[in-house]
Structure 1
Amino acid sequence: MEKRRFSTVIMITKESYQPTDISAWTGRTDGTDPDLLRWHQVVQVINLLQQPLPALTPGQKGIVLLGFASDEGVRRNKGRVGAAEGPAALRKAIANFPVHFNAQTLLLDAGNIICVNGELENAQQVLSEAVKAILTAGYLPLLLGGGHEITYGHASGIRQFAGKRPVGFINFDAHFDIRVPGEEGASSGTGFWQLAQDAKQAGVPFHYLALGIQKNGNTRQLFNIAGEEEATYVSADAFHLQDKDTLLAAIQHFLSQVEKVYLTTCLDVFSAAFAPGVSATAYNGILPGGLFLQCYRKIMESGKVAGVDIAELNPSLDIDNRTAKLAASLIFETVMAYCGEEPF
């Protein structure tokens, strides 16, 4: 099996990796002046089997888009598969965005980590190493899911990079994803349980904040496990009832306890009217409007976010690309906030 070194840290194989074809980045072209550019005109496609990430100059910012083309965890969790096609749909949805970030910012597409023959644990390990290498090179990993099994690989990479610095995990989700693994092993619903066990083994606190939890989407056992692991959560009702004070206070308190943050958004946290293309739709999910954006921006503007991902986009279940467009808008928000650009 051929192996090549990515940067100076990670070993990936041709079997676990799929570079992006530049043809995936197409869209409208209004010109080449800086104020006319769109993402498909400035993104750089990188093949991790052939080249390291470009070195950043002092003060320069860089973002690496990396797909996790897997829905094996969704299958193991008895969900509707199809999220493995999410990264491709997301690239298509974001390609035509206008460039509002600094011209010196590097936007890279590093392809996909893929899950081969149902070997989820191996794919998560490769993803973890890739995330650590991206962070070591000074870039923000912005990951495109994929099922929510993306969490364990992504967050593990951040934790390895952070070393002894406390890491917090923030999850916009209707579900805790804190299940004890079943006979088939880890799944899209076990990521935060796995992270909690890793924290115990390392003798460090487990910092977990779940936002948008639905009581009708989690068994009493899951609430009990969340309590045992000292997770913090705010229910979807806080969004429905516009309880801004409770949400922002919970976020601020959580941020004060950690130095690095893993931020993940499971698209099933949103109302099915806005996010029909997910494994488990929520008719009474939260709205992707003002209050959600305030919460999301508060987290991003903390300066502590070390990695972001969007999970559970299933293009085969989408309607009029609603879910893909919603996910794309979150990617745009992330890039704008990371680059220090003010929203209009």
Structure 2
Amino acid sequence: MNYLEEPSNSFIRDEKDKKIKDFEKSIPLIGIPWDWSTAGKPGARFAPQSIRNELYSLRTDVYELNEIKFGFNDLGNVRISPGDLNETSRRIISVCDDVFKKIKEKNPVIFLGGDHSITKSILLSLSKFYNKIGLIIFDAHYDLREVKEGLTSGSWLNELLKDNKEKFNVIEIGISNYSNPSYMKEIAKKYGIKVFYRDQIIDDLKDVFYEINKVKENTDGIYISIDMDHLDQSFAPGVNSPTALGMYPHETIKIINEITRNSKILGIDTTEVSPPYDINNNTSRLAAKLLLYSINSYLGNKNG
């Protein structure tokens, strides 16, 4: 008898135990291992593979949602140019142009960052295909910095909206007290960004839901950007800028369920996971589950 088998970390031999990696590959997924814009803790370049490992080990059973037996059409990683932001941005846009062109009106595209600056390049591509995009960001920070020197992932939203304000309707959720320069409030007002501080959503989500549904009504579709540092550092320790008194994952899930209800989701990204600073892969695993909740909630609502 042949007692050899494929290498695996599992010693449970259950042929009916299907994981995400075993299902039909239908959801486009792209990794973007860029973190040279990080001014704090580098390491997000390692996140795409770390999140993939967790994502593909998960299963499809979920409470009170239609079970979507899907897999991910993993297109690989964008070949970034280490240290060269302009060339890397050009490559991200080129890859996204090709993908959005092919899958328009079909499933949303999933992006695994990378620091949060990758979202700017993705959206510059996406904006070529739609007149108005609803951009809903989970983040502890405004990302509206105005820097004189150096690179920072904390300026990407300001850079995007400077020349493309009319293309986006933006909501930021989870902004943290004592974590942002105060001048950014005025920049947010200038761009018409609806901002919800972490403390505003502790007791009641109705104002958040109201703004989300206004965005859904007045745009061609929604892009969701999940910066993992919007979550409390006890849940997401492995990020560039850990957040004390941040959001809880189930608050995020409730909001995601509202975003995906009766909407058109164009894309979803997760950013700022830094595996070298993580504990037992907690943050990568949580990022993977939030992505699954997002896409499962969307497809479950759409097909239910």
Number of equivalent positions: 288
Q: 2:31 matched to which residue of 1?
A: 67
TM-score by length of 2: 0.87
Q: 1:247 matched to which residue of 2?
A: 208
Q: 1:107 is aligned with what amino acid?
A: F
Within the alignment, does 1:216 sit opposite 2:178 as a pair?
yes
Q: 2:119 matched to which residue of 1?
A: 151
Matched-pair identity in % = 24
Relative contact order, higher structure (CA 8 A, sep 6+): 2
Within the alignment, does 1:128 sit opposite 2:90 as a pair?
no
Describe the shift of the 1:294–1:159 C-alpha distance in structure 2 as closer, same or farther (beyond 3 A).
same
Unaligned runs of 5+ in 1: 1-22, 45-61
Describe the shift of the 1:70–1:224 C-alpha distance in structure 2 as closer, same or farther (beyond 3 A).
same
Deviation per residue, 1:30-50 (Å, 9 max, x gap): 32x5xx421222365xxxxxx
SS at 2:128 equivalent? helix
Describe the shift of the 1:122–1:281 C-alpha distance in structure 2 as closer, same or farther (beyond 3 A).
same
Q: 2:64 matched to which residue of 1?
A: none
The alpha-carbon deviation at position 246 of structure 1 amounts to 1.8
Superposed, 1:99-178 pairs within 5 Å as: 99=60, 102=68, 105=70, 107-138=72-103, 139-162=107-130, 165-178=131-144
The alpha-carbon deviation at position 123 of structure 1 amounts to 1.4
Describe the shift of the 1:161–1:319 C-alpha distance in structure 2 as closer, same or farther (beyond 3 A).
same
8 Å CA contact retained: 1:171, 1:211: yes
Unaligned runs of 5+ in 2: 1-5, 62-66
Q: 1:97 is aligned with what amino acid?
A: L
Supply the distance in 2 between the matched residues of 1:323 and 1:127 (Cα, whole angstroms). Answer: 24
Describe the shift of the 1:143–1:220 C-alpha distance in structure 2 as closer, same or farther (beyond 3 A).
same
- Cα RMSD, aligned residues only: 2.4
Q: 1:89 is aligned with what amino acid?
A: S
Describe the shift of the 1:108–1:321 C-alpha distance in structure 2 as closer, same or farther (beyond 3 A).
same
Residue from 286, 290, 295 that aligns with 1:335:
295
Q: 2:19 matched to which residue of 1?
A: 38
Q: 2:53 is aligned with what amino acid?
A: K
Supply the distance in 1 between the matched residues of 2:55 and 2:71 (Cα, whole angstroms). Answer: 16
Supply the distance in 2 between the matched residues of 1:40 and 1:24 (Cα, whole angstroms). Answer: 15
8 Å CA contact retained: 1:171, 1:210: yes
Q: 1:120 is aligned with what amino acid?
A: L
SS at 2:129 equivalent? helix
Supply the distance in 2 between the matched residues of 1:142 and 1:41 (Cα, whole angstroms). Answer: 18
Describe the shift of the 1:214–1:66 C-alpha distance in structure 2 as closer, same or farther (beyond 3 A).
same
SS at 1:319 equivalent? coil
